[in-house]
Amino acid sequence: MPSGMPRMGRVVQKVPFMSQVFPKQVHLREVGLRDGLQSIATILPTAQKLDWLRAAHAAGQREIEVGSFVPARLMPQLADTAEVVAFARTLPGMVTSVLVPNLKGAQLAIAAQADSMLVPVSVSHAHSLANLRKTPDDVVAEIGRIRAERDAAGSRTRIEVGLSTAFGCTLQGAVAPAEVLRLLQAVLDAGAEQVGLADTVGYADPRMVRELFEAGRHIAGDRLGCGHFHDTRGLGLANVYAALETGVTRFDACLGGIGGCPHAPGASGNVAMEDVVYLMRSMQIDTGIDFDALLALRRQLAVWLQGEPLHGSIWKAGLPRSLLAPVAEAAAA
């Protein structure tokens, strides 16, 4: 460098940090009383289900999938669904949700005055035939009949569709995103009012979740509003986060991470409710749920379901001190 010339330092270009805008609040639906209990051997007595509902309500949970209107011979774990719905409706502010596989189930849900009925539509043809003995398009036609029945009855029960195996299937393998989007449009045309995407067997990864929800939003807008993830391969929370990034603010989760799918070999539990609540709390996103009360209920669930595997991480470790500190400071003040 010639003498007299100023030494040039390294030029560092400042790139503005683009922070992700997250919602201030999310809505979490507890699915343990249906999706959780249907997949385990233990049949929880009705009295304990009602105790579960009381404690969940006291902890701040305001929507619970309480059962399914299916024949008791096929699913004895959920034979008391009508009684459980009736009790849940006495809890102030509680939204009761039930699964209905067909028109008969929908008629029972309407008679029980459930707030919402969830119709499962398997995107995988193999899973649909194994689960409901119908093709996906047969189920779409049934949704049309359910909508007509609901409207004729003057019922206010919301019709929600869960597009299951939307990210892959243990029976079929890969599921084409184009087929998911086709069925998304079809169920809306048939009369569904809300739709969710479900990773029934835990095949999804965050990129798949982000891309499919973004594509689905172009079709359904805000009517595509719920993410349902299983933690079979340890990506449940990552997938919740990916959906959150796309604007999803409603998620299914299950206390203790129990659940699965009887017709999807290898599928394990839903993403644990307590882990999802911790994720949201750590990101300063409100769920309305009291974490300590939720963990107390989780401990009780372990007593009720002795011998059944429970999942999740945060119940073992507890909240980090960084989140406990504000509580401790407030108590000291």
Instruction: Note the pLDDT of residue 330.
Output: 43
CB 133 within 8 A of CB 150: no
- Between CA 226 and CA 231 the distance in angstroms is 16
- Between CA 83 and CA 75 the distance in angstroms is 15
- Between CA 58 and CA 44 the distance in angstroms is 20
Q: What is the mean pLDDT of residues 276-296?
A: 96
Q: What is the mean pLDDT of residues 251-280?
A: 86
- Tell which wins on pLDDT, 228 or 332: 228
Domains and CATH numbers, the chain: 27-313 (3.20.20.70)
Q: What is the mean pLDDT of residues 98-125?
A: 97
**CA atoms 238, 240, 244, 246: torsion sign:** positive
pLDDT above 50: residue 45:
yes
Residue whose structure tokens are 């604007």: 247
pLDDT above 50: residue 7:
no
Instruction: Note the pLDDT of residue 115.
Output: 98
- Is 261 marked active-site? yes
Instruction: Note the pLDDT of residue 185.
Output: 98
301: nearest Cα among 10, 5, 30: 30
The rounded radius of gyration (Å) of the Cα atoms in the chain is 22
- Between CA 40 and CA 302 the distance in angstroms is 13
- Tell which wins on pLDDT, 12 or 287: 287
pLDDT above 90: residue 281:
yes
Q: What is the mean pLDDT of residues 110-126?
A: 97
Instruction: Note the pLDDT of residue 265.
Output: 61
Instruction: Note the pLDDT of residue 2.
Output: 47
196: nearest Cα among 109, 99, 288: 99
- Tell which wins on pLDDT, 232 or 273: 273
Catalytic residue among 169, 226, 254, 261: 261
Q: What is the mean pLDDT of residues 66-74?
A: 94
Instruction: Note the pLDDT of residue 16.
Output: 46
Contacts of 172 (CB under 8 A, 6+ apart): 124, 125, 126, 127, 165
pLDDT above 80: residue 17:
no
Q: What is the mean pLDDT of residues 221-233?
A: 95
84-88, 164-168, 203-207, 266-270: the lowest-pLDDT one: 266-270
CB 209 within 8 A of CB 242: yes
Residue 322's pLDDT band, with cuts at 50, 70 and 90, is confident
pLDDT tens per residue across span 228-263: 999 989 999 999 999 999 999 999 999 999 987 766
Instruction: Note the pLDDT of residue 93.
Output: 98
The rounded mean pLDDT for the chain is 90
67: nearest Cα among 90, 34, 42: 34
Question: Which uninterrupted H or E stretch holds 326?
Answer: helix 321-332
Residue 105's pLDDT band, with cuts at 50, 70 and 90, is very high
Instruction: Note the pLDDT of residue 320.
Output: 87
Q: Could you tell me the two tokens for 144? A: 């049309």
Instruction: Note the pLDDT of residue 328.
Output: 43
Q: Residue 29 pairs with which residues in a beta bridge?
A: 252
pLDDT tens per residue across span 168-208: 998 899 999 999 999 999 999 999 999 999 999 999 999 99
Task: Give the DSSP letter string of 261-285.
Answer: -TTSTT--PBPBHHHHHHHHHHTT-
191: nearest Cα among 217, 157, 229, 166: 157
What angle (nearest 5°) sits at the alpha carbon of residue 223, between those of residues 218 and 224? 65
Task: Give the DSSP letter string of 96-130.
Answer: EEEE--SHHHHHHHHHHT-SEEEEEEESSHHHHHH
- Tell which wins on pLDDT, 232 or 149: 149
Question: Which uninterrupted H or E stretch holds 241?
Answer: helix 236-245
Q: For 115, phi and psi rounded to 5 degrees?
A: -75, -30
Instruction: Note the pLDDT of residue 270.
Output: 92
